[in-house]
């Protein structure tokens, strides 16, 4: 059974810690600590998200080997580090093509999870403008295997700079 949303795995520990704190601080401040602790337990932990994205990409690659999808996708093969956010957004858009072409429930769940993880990590860079980067439609179209290989390379760029 696949566990989605891996960034929530430590939620129970954080909630138990909040309950422990709350039992010692039965005041208004204790209640605030409890509430904020529970809220923080549900927030994404972006520092680990990129490794989960790579794992999901590899799983999608293995699942797609048995299917006969003949799609070509816009692929950034040689992204400059200053264009990694733009490239990542293109990769995430192109994942929708895989969703549409595969019609596989497992692949759908994995790509939805992968997209959510990547977007949560990109959320701190929402307003970042990267100049001189290629738009998605300007990229070369490649097969799914090459697309996933390049996608992993872009994700590794995020890991190496965090």
% helix / strand / coil in the chain, to the nearest 5?
A: 70, 5, 25
What pLDDT does 8 receive?
47
Give the H/E segment covering residue 148.
Answer: helix 144-161
More confident: 127 or 73: 73
- The reported pLDDT for the residue numbered 22 is 57
What is the pLDDT at residue 46?
45
Q: Which residue has the tokens 């790579």?
A: 54
More confident of the two residues 107 and 41 = 107
Least confident of 27-31, 125-129, 144-148: 27-31
- CA–chain centroid gap for 32, Å, is 31
**Residue range 129-153: average pLDDT?**
92
Residue spans of the domains in the chain: they are 9-42, 50-160
CB distance 134 to 75 below 8 Å: no
Q: What is the topology classification, in CATH, of domain 50-160? A: Growth Hormone; Chain: A; (1.20.1250)
């Amino acid at each position: 059974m696949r566990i989605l949303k891996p960034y929530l795995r430590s939620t129970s520990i954080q909630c138990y810690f909040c309950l422990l704190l709350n039992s010692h601080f039965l005041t208004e401040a204790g209640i605030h600590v409890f509430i904020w602790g529970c809220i923080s337990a549900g927030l994404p932990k972006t520092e680990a998200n990129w490794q989960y994205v790579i794992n999901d990409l590899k799983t999608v690659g293995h699942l797609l080997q048995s299917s006969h999808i003949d799609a070509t996708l816009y692929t950034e093969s040689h992204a400059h580090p200053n264009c990694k956010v733009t490239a990542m957004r293109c990769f995430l858009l192109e994942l929708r093509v895989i969703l549409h072409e595969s019609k596989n429930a497992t692949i759908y769940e994995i790509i939805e999870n992968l997209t959510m993880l990547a977007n949560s990590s990109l959320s701190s860079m929402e307003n970042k403008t990267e100049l001189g980067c290629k738009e998605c439609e300007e990229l070369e179209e490649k097969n799914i295997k090459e697309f996933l290989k390049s996608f992993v390379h872009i994700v590794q760029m995020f890991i190496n700079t965090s």
